[in-house]
A and B are shown apart, each in its own frame.
Chain A
């Protein structure tokens, strides 16, 4: 008998799916909710030491003297290291670290270190960064322009000749990731092999980096990320905490627990860059935006910051953009859920609203006239219906009445790639006892990776989701890409599907003789196995597996490009209430729609939409890193002064999966859901009371002062 040519794995039709494209509860929800889940923070090993950093309290300083000597007098302190003994370049930069028998002893030891600093000038604001007196921060100078598109003269002329013209400056503050689990890891190194528990978005990368730090081979590093408490883009590399933990582990030959504290987290583990955008735009009476110029300054601290550029998703006949960065002596920005996009969205959605009002045109209608992609038209229409736009009284002018509480509505849109790449190698195993495992080295950031990994295999074998164990977050389970750019699902799901598909084919082959049919005639459905030749004769899954005897089925899978694609769209609407006497802002409702190709777990997708809207709500209402501009103190490096929304801030959230998107391929969709929410809220505030807040967050002081002026 000649072997069957292996058929290509293909996703089933949506209508035929029993597990995928349904609502699946996350398999590890209970472990997380009950505290049974072990995070890196929770790891306790015999003989383990706790490590901690000393931060520089100045934005920039010369380290005149760093005296680690006093550490030896602290009971329980074991060792101290200098991290930066010459010059610091950002507020909170680690200058030294200690390892001690307990966290308390580590803290005492940190405080015993004596450092003498000499500060000469520094910058924590854009203005200070641009001041010629400020010492140089970056190698390219404290400000530079690195991107220019379009023709300035042409665009300016188009703006000038338009029927209406607006010019505004939009500012966004620095936002923090606020992962519940701080950065860090536990390193156990015996001189030859290392075991590492890391809170990371890239297990595979951590094994490589730790191997480098410890001068051993990657295969001698085992990395475990069974559970992690959020990354949002800030946890790709091992960072200074990983390097330092490795240094201690190497020198002391004892396991090292180094997890950042909350202030560390706020001060040196990355952030979403702030920025200032000056937009001039003109539109004609027919509702077309004919010209736009944009001057963009990113505030990425000692890094560059991010912004995808303007006019973002909108089509403008003639536009010009100049983008640059201004450095300050503050922590480098890192990737954060849809890097740069929420910043761009805030400015463009604001100016689009301003143009529509200037023309006296329906805000939704005006948007559609300037969006070419029909997907946005259907999505905007859908969220508009859901939020009650068509019944709303203020569609082309804001409500300017005073004295009561006014309701307003606003919109925003998003775009993303979300395609995969060929990195993941996965495996699926069927054991004679009937158990099935699907394994990947990929980490579950909390997005539900573990759940869909098992579900894909369950769908393949006609099992329930609960009958397959999804195993994630271990370097031994094969290489996987970093979870960034919403690339995880499109990189991983095809590889899991591939492994499951191969395992099924092998299993069918093995069962064929038993069922007295050909492998192609073997069907796996509803927990049973049968041959199409004789559907009445069925084996239960357990019976079928027992036939495997002592030879389990094991198949390995790789990326299959045709099972994924890229390119997603989203639209959101927000309905708010503004108290015109106090400036109090209440978000009443947010509606988000998102396309995503083939939905694997509908519940998880809606959770991502909700999560994106909530994170954008925080950015809209409160979140802002505050650094004292005159003295250089960090004033918001804690959860009292850096405010996150709580349960009472939650609006009614409506998350919609755009089922008009019938692409039969998987696409990542988590990031774009955070892009437009705050813009929709800011626009809704203006719609409610005629006050436009040009600088986030939309705190009541700004709204109230706006209301007092307009009165």
Chain B
């Protein structure tokens, strides 16, 4: 690991001021980096994928919270009644929060599925959303692919068993965050030091802008809070689940994951939200499938149609075709679980 200076700001103002205004490309070359739980940044530094001169540790920033709060009817410019999750909230705290479990089972389940108990205790929600890809070319210091500022995606014609089948190109990473998939389904909002962003606007496809980044954060923009849309909770009649498929159950990143939220009118689906993880460079919302589900009763036929529809645009690479039948099966399992 390269030597670095660690700053311990106590106010958000100081934290933001110590960060650069301009983004250096690629991100790995950024001379100043934000540190939260360190579960991704430190391994990246040890592997020399990131070599910052300055690390800004957020743990001492007063305004940043490490807990889940429900301000209830308390007035707030951001709206009332939403659950606020401080950016420093650990994944373990998120997984064990009773209110979230009650309201947003999909989020608890996704949090529980992450890594190991040790890592969950250290890792934060903010860091989880901003973690870098796991593509094994990217993670190898010797390869300088598109993501690291090179000019080729090695996965595309390489060993791409774990890569994207949807939304890929020119980089074919899959976004590694489990929380992202669940939070997108819940319609979460990311509040930063500069703006409030719907999660669907937070992530960016490699084809949309710059393949070396995964989200739209500016270099001096810090996530403060994640807000959950209260109209999409269990108390408003929503049922939800998260199914994650891993090669190794003990701990692994998703090969494919399904976050599903349904509202019923009798046995008919009245509203639906379906997001996929582990299959695209961003958490992948399936809006047409959501429409297809509305008004229908869950049966084998619907399960099949939903899977077909969600994976219609899938373009497998040489070694990841299996993700198509796999994801279809996971969608069917999720639907049956909520039926």
Which positions in A face B, CB cutoff 8 Å? 57, 104, 107-108, 111, 581-584, 621-622, 626, 628-631, 633-636, 638, 640-641, 643, 645-649, 699-701, 704-705, 708
Contacts and interface: CB of A to CB of B under 8 A. Distances in A.
Nearest to A618: B248
B136 A649 contact: no
Given A633-B137, A635-B140, A700-B322, A581 B249 contact: no
Interface string B326-339: 10011011000000
Given A583-B326, A635-B137, A705-B321, A646 B250 contact: yes
9 contacts: A582-B330, A582-B333, A633-B140, A634-B140, A636-B136, A641-B139, A647-B250, A704-B326, A708-B322
A701 B251 contact: no
Contacts of A701: 161, 319-320, 322, 326
Nearest to B43: A640
Contacts of B326: 582-583, 700-701, 704
A623 to B, nearest CB: 11
B154 A645 contact: no
A649 B250 contact: yes
A37 B198 CA distance: 53
Contacts, number: 80
Contacts of B137: 628, 633, 635
A628 B161 contact: no
B250 A582 contact: no
Contacts of B333: 581-582
Nearest to A634: B140
A584 B157 contact: no
B97 interface: no
Chain B: interface secondary structure? Answer: loop
Given A628-B159, A643-B248, A700-B245, 6 more contacts: A582-B333, A631-B154, A641-B139, A643-B252, A646-B250, A699-B247
Interface string B144-174: 0000000000100111010000000000000
A195 B250 CA distance: 41
A649 B245 contact: no
A641 B162 CA distance: 11
B247 A630 contact: no
Given A581-B332, A635-B140, A645 B248 contact: yes
A107 B330 CA distance: 45
B98 interface: no
Task: Choose among B137, B161, B319, B329 the residue with the greatest number of A CB atoms under 10 Å from its CB.
Answer: B329
Nearest to B256: A582
Nearest to A703: B322
Nearest to A579: B329
Contacts of B321: 705
Contacts of A628: 137, 154, 158-159
Nearest to A584: B245
A646 B248 contact: yes
Interface in B240-275: 245, 247-252, 255
Contacts of B79: none
Nearest to A631: B154
A503 to B, nearest CB: 48
Contacts of A630: 157-158
Given A582-B329, A631-B143, A648 B250 contact: yes
B59 interface: no
Nearest to B322: A701
A636 B137 CA distance: 10
Nearest to B245: A582
Given A583-B322, A584-B245, A628-B159, A57 B142 contact: yes
Contacts of B157: 630
Contacts of B245: 582, 584, 700
B258 to A, nearest CB: 11
Contacts of B252: 643
A645 B332 contact: no
A635 B330 contact: no
Contacts of B161: 701
B325 interface: yes
Contact of A621 (B2, B134, B136, B248): B248
A633 B159 CA distance: 11
A645 B248 CA distance: 7
Contacts of B325: 704, 708
A101 to B, nearest CB: 14
Contacts of B330: 582
B1 interface: yes
A705 B245 CA distance: 16
Interface in B102-144: 134, 136-137, 139-140, 142-143
B247 A622 contact: yes
Nearest to B142: A57
Contacts of B134: 640
B329 A581 contact: yes
Given A582-B330, A583-B322, A622 B154 contact: no
Contacts of A705: 321-322
Task: Choose among B48, B154, B319 the residue with the greatest number of A CB atoms under 10 Å from its CB.
Answer: B154
Contacts of A583: 322, 326
A416 B123 CA distance: 47
Contacts of A631: 143, 154, 158
B251 A646 contact: yes
